[in-house]
């Protein structure tokens, strides 16, 4: 449509210029997305496929590959540590993602109020996002230390016996998930806040006229209105939780074992352990591919739910 | 086209609010005045608790970095800053090459942020406003690539950089991160809402070729989102751990790699020194947040990641 306008406005010099113009409109979208796809092909897709090929081989650090078919996967299936890591990834993901997003939702609601120092509160809750996994984990290791950590001292004042934050399973998992939750709650709260600010005030006025309390408005107006954003954060957090690596690694003192009894060994840690500490790259590649399949499965389910939801909302 | 140098619509605003003049500070949305309820004491109480929980670990990092190892491991834990910050910093610099690490991290994060913002804006614009075959399918691919764990690509990438002799060189960290799916998605979401399609068409009708449109229409409109994305990517690249940890070494580290080096190796673990290292790694970003915090928050809450 634009091309025809162009051609008439510049009557005599049509020919190559309009052809060039058409080429420009046709080709330029591909030129703009090309950097992403080139980079992805080189540093994402190719390694991905290569890892898949490695997973069908027996490869040790520094040796050639030897074809073994699905042997690596079969071995994982029979390996209790793999299942343990899978369970831990699931429970750690659950106890770090669910409270994190719920708290973020509540926090966003509060930050949406007209308040004094609202700007300060918003910046303050985002501050943990500036820290790195390594720095945050190293500091939390100190706070959660069973012998001299501040958290046990605090619990002591409340009359609670010292908690074994590293050797017991659930305390250790709670400690690790608290690092994740601490770093990401404020960030998610701001994303929710963004969505909340776009909700039309008319809806609230109508609800208020119908006699809805603030809580009722939050549940019946705010939450449904920002549902797409909630789905977005659920997807992103799930992806992050499935790849949990740095926090449990550093919490366990740079070891891939995930605690004395593997009580917080995640799939990523198990993979690192297999690949770099045991040296079986083929097995590690198989773990990596299982992770990808799990993520794709979760992602597909979530996208399906999201699509359905959008359709229902008529968006 | 003078008006094009100003963002036409504040980030993420709905078409109905697009005519509203953009204001710099946090503002109630048009028609949103009715819901801008004032918070009661309970709201303040919860927010103060949340703020304390957010800031305390940061505060305590400063406290711990200014005490000796013995102070930290002997209850009760100190709660006020001590006098050993300088000596701890000296030990950090003795044990790892922090100067190189800081320079490297700045170069890496700067390059990655610049190229990601540039390429993500181009791709985001194409996905948001241009018609082309396979657009939806390709966008799905972009989003799907976000799910690929870095763990999946590490083994082949390591072999590649070994083959070309880049182990221990920072280009091995920069190149794989030149553009990110998250950035493309982020800019697409922003431009879908903030860039009126009429504007692009008008420029087309005026005979602007696509690079001109990018420069005179897309970039000015996208500027606030580009700033936020740049900030987010910089933070992420600065804090990245897994791949730099594998690709670099203690002779040429980033701050995160240097930090990992503090807690291992021949040295006995001095907890105060390790926390001091964590402080050095975090402080530059915290300073950026202290100065630009409102803009960063404003950018995120402008709704770039909506729907």
State pLDDT tens for residues A174-209.
999 999 999 999 999 998 998 888 888 888 888 888
Q: Which residues of A touch B256 (CB under 8 A)?
A: 132, 134-135
A256 contacts in B (CB within 8 Å)? none
Percentage, residues of chain A above pLDDT 70? 93
In terms of Cβ atoms closer than 10 Å to its own Cβ (0-12, 13-18, 19+), residue B34 is middle
Task: Report residue A34's pLDDT band, with 50, 70 and 90 as the boundaries.
Answer: very high
pLDDT at B109 over 70: yes
Lowest-pLDDT choice from A12-21, A92-101, A189-198, B8-17: B8-17
Q: Calculate the average pLDDT of chain B.
A: 82
Put simply, whether B163 touches A (Cβ < 8 Å) is: no
- Whether B198 and chain A come into contact, CB under 8 Å, resolves to no
B56 touching A (Cβ < 8 Å): no
Contact state of A142 with B271 under an 8 Å Cβ cutoff = yes
Question: H helices within chain A, ranges in order?
Answer: 2-9, 15-40, 46-54, 71-77, 80-111, 118-126, 133-143, 150-157, 169-197, 201-209, 214-217, 223-225, 227-242, 246-251, 267-272, 281-313
Of all residues in chain B, the one with the smallest CA distance to A137 is: B278
Residue B16 has pLDDT above 60, yes or no: no
pTM score: 0.83
- Chain A nearest-CA distance from B198, in A, is 11
Query: Cα distance from A68 to chain B (closest Cα, Å)?
Result: 18
pLDDT grade for A313, boundaries at 50, 70 and 90: low
Residue B7 near residue B224 (C-beta atoms within 8 A):
yes
Contacts of B58 in chain A (CB under 8 A): 127-128, 131
- The answer, yes or no, to whether residue B307 has pLDDT greater than 70, is no
Residue B96 has pLDDT above 50, yes or no: yes
Q: What is the pLDDT of residue B265?
A: 56
Q: What is the pLDDT of residue B75?
A: 81
pLDDT value at B171 more than 60: yes
The answer to whether residue B47 scores a pLDDT higher than 90 is yes
CA distance B130 to chain A (A): 6
ipTM strictly over 0.95? no
- Considering CB atoms only, which of B210, B297, B302 is closest to A24? B210
Question: Would an 8 Å CB–CB cutoff place B291 in contact with chain A?
Answer: no
Residue A58's DSSP bridge partners are A66
Tell me which residues of chain B, numbers 206 to 225, contact chain A at a CB-CB cutoff of 8 Å.
207, 209-210, 214
Q: pLDDT band for position B27 (50/70/90)?
A: very low
Q: Is the pLDDT of residue A111 over 50?
A: yes
Kindly list the residues from chain B whose CB atom is less than 8 angstroms away from the CB atom of residue A185.
54
Cβ within 8 Å, pair B51-A121: yes
Look at residue B59 in the predicted model and tell me its pLDDT: 94
Q: pLDDT band at residue B303, thresholds of 50, 70 and 90?
A: low
| B43 at interface of A, judged by CB pairs closer than 8 A | yes
CA dist., res. A269 & res. A266, Å (int):
5
Query: Residue A14's pLDDT band (boundaries 50, 70, 90)?
Result: low
Contacts of B173 in chain A (CB under 8 A): none
The reported pLDDT for the residue numbered A211 is 86
Inter-residue contact A176 to A92 (CB < 8 Å): yes
Check B152 against A288: CB less than 8 A apart. Answer: yes
Unique residue bearing structure tokens 């209105």: A225
**List of chain B residues whose C-beta atoms are within 8 Å of the C-beta of residue A182:** 53-54, 57
Residue among A117, A123, A244 with most chain B CBs within 10 A, to mutate: A123
Contact criterion met (CB < 8 Å) for A199 and B35: yes
Contacts of B176 in chain A (CB under 8 A): 39, 43
Do A47 and B147 make contact, defined as CB atoms within 8 angstroms? no
Q: Which of A119-123, A170-174, B9-13 has the highest mean pLDDT?
A: A170-174
Q: Do B147 and A295 touch (CB under 8 A)?
A: yes
A57-61, A127-131, B186-190: range with lowest mean pLDDT? A57-61
Per residue in B226-270, pLDDT tens?
988 898 899 999 998 888 988 898 889 999 989 888 866 555 678
Measured between alpha carbons, how far is B69 from B271 in angstroms, rounded to an integer?
Answer: 5
Q: Does B175 touch chain A (CB under 8 A)?
A: yes
Mean pLDDT of B210-234: 88
pLDDT, position B18: 38
Comparison of pLDDT for B30 and A279, the residue scoring more: A279
Tell if the CB–CB gap between B152 and A118 is shorter than 8 Å: no
CA A252 to CA A88: how far, in whole Å?
A: 14
Secondary structure letter of residue B264 according to DSSP: S
Residue tagged 């954003």 (tokens): A229
Residue A180 CA to residue B62 CA, distance in Å, equals: 21
Residue B189 pLDDT greater than 90, yes or no:
no
Backbone φ/ψ region at A176: left (φ over 0), alpha (ψ -120 to 50), beta: alpha
B202 touches chain A (CB under 8 A): no
B5-9, B64-68, B275-279: least confidently modelled range:
B5-9
Residue B32: the pLDDT is 42
pLDDT at B280: 93
Q: How confident is the model at residue A272 (pLDDT cuts 50, 70, 90)?
A: confident
**Binning pLDDT at 50, 70 and 90, where does residue A39 land?**
very high
pLDDT at B245: 85
- Burial of residue B276 (CB within 10 Å: 0-12, 13-18, 19+) is buried
What gap in Å lies between CA B201 and CA B193, rounded to an integer?
A: 16
The predicted pLDDT at position A312 comes to: 63
* Amino acid B12: pLDDT: 38
**Residue A287 has what pLDDT?**
93
Q: Which of B10, B11, B57, B241 to mutate: most A Cβ within 10 Å?
A: B57
A92 is written with which tokens?
């750690």
Residue A135 has its nearest CB partner, among B39, B210, B278, at B278
The answer, yes or no, to whether residue A155 has pLDDT greater than 90, is: yes
> How much is the pLDDT for A136?
93
Per the CB < 8 A criterion, the answer to whether B129 and B197 are in contact is yes
């Amino acid at each position: 449509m634009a091309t025809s306008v162009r051609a008439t406005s510049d009557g005599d010099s049509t020919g190559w210029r309009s052809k060039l113009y058409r080429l420009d409109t046709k080709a330029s979208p591909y030129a703009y997305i090309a950097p992403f796809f080139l980079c992805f092909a080189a540093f994402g897709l190719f390694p991905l496929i290569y890892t898949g090929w490695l997973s069908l081989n027996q490869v040790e650090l520094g040796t050639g590959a030897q074809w073994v078919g699905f042997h690596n996967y079969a071995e994982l299936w029979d390996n209790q540590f793999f299942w343990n890591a899978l369970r831990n990834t699931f429970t750690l993901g659950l106890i770090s993602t669910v409270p994190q997003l719920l708290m973020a939702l509540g926090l966003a609601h509060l930050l949406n109020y007209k308040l004094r120092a609202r700007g300060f509160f918003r910046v303050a809750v985002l501050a943990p996002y500036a820290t790195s996994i390594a720095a945050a984990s190293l500091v939390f290791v100190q706070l959660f230390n069973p012998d001299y950590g501040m958290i046990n001292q605090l619990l002591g004042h409340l009359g609670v016996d010292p908690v074994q934050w590293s050797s017991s399973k659930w305390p250790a998992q709670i400690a690790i998930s608290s690092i994740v939750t601490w770093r990401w709650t404020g960030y998610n709260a701001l994303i929710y806040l963004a969505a909340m600010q776009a909700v039309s005030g008319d809806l609230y006025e109508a609800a208020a006229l119908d006699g809805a309390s603030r809580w009722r408005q939050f549940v019946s107006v705010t939450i449904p209105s920002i549902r797409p954003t909630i789905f977005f954060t659920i997807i992103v957090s799930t992806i992050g939780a499935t790849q949990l690596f740095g926090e449990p690694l550093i919490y366990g003192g740079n070891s891939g074992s995930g605690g004395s009894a593997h009580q917080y060994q995640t799939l990523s840690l198990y993979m690192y352990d297999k690949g770099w500490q045991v040296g079986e790259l083929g097995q590690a590649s198989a773990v990596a591919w299982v992770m990808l399949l799990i993520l794709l499965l979760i992602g597909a389910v979530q996208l399906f739910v999201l699509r359905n939801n959008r359709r229902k909302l008529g968006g | 086209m003078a008006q094009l140098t100003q963002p036409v619509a504040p980030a993420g605003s709905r078409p109905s609010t697009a005519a509203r003049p953009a204001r710099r500070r946090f503002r109630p949305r048009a028609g949103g005045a009715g819901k801008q309820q004032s918070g009661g004491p309970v709201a303040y109480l919860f927010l103060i608790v949340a703020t304390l929980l957010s800031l305390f670990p940061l505060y305590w990092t400063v406290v711990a970095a200014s005490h000796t190892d013995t102070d930290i491991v002997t209850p009760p834990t100190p709660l006020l800053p001590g006098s050993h910050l300088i000596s701890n910093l000296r030990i950090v610099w003795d044990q790892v090459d922090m100067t190189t690490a800081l320079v490297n991290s700045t170069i890496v994060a700067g390059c990655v942020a610049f190229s990601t913002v540039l390429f993500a804006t181009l791709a985001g614009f194409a996905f948001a406003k241009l018609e082309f075959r396979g657009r939806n399918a390709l966008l799905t691919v972009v989003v799907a690539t976000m799910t690929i764990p870095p763990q999946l690509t590490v083994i082949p990438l390591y072999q590649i950089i070994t083959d070309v002799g880049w182990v221990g060189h920072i280009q091995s960290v920069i190149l794989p991160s030149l553009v990110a799916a998250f950035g493309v998605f982020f800019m697409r979401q922003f431009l879908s809402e903030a860039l009126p399609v009429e504007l692009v068409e008008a420029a087309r009708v005026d005979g602007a070729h696509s690079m001109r449109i990018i420069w005179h229409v897309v970039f000015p409109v996208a500027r606030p989102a580009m700033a936020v994305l740049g900030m987010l990517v910089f933070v992420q690249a600065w804090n990245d751990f897994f791949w730099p940890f594998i690709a670099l070494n203690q002779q040429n580290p980033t701050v995160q790699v240097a930090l990992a080096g503090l807690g291992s190796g021949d040295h006995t673990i001095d907890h105060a020194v390790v926390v001091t290292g964590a402080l050095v790694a975090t402080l530059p970003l915290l300073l950026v947040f202290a100065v630009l915090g409102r803009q960063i928050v404003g950018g995120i809450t402008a709704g770039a990641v909506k729907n």
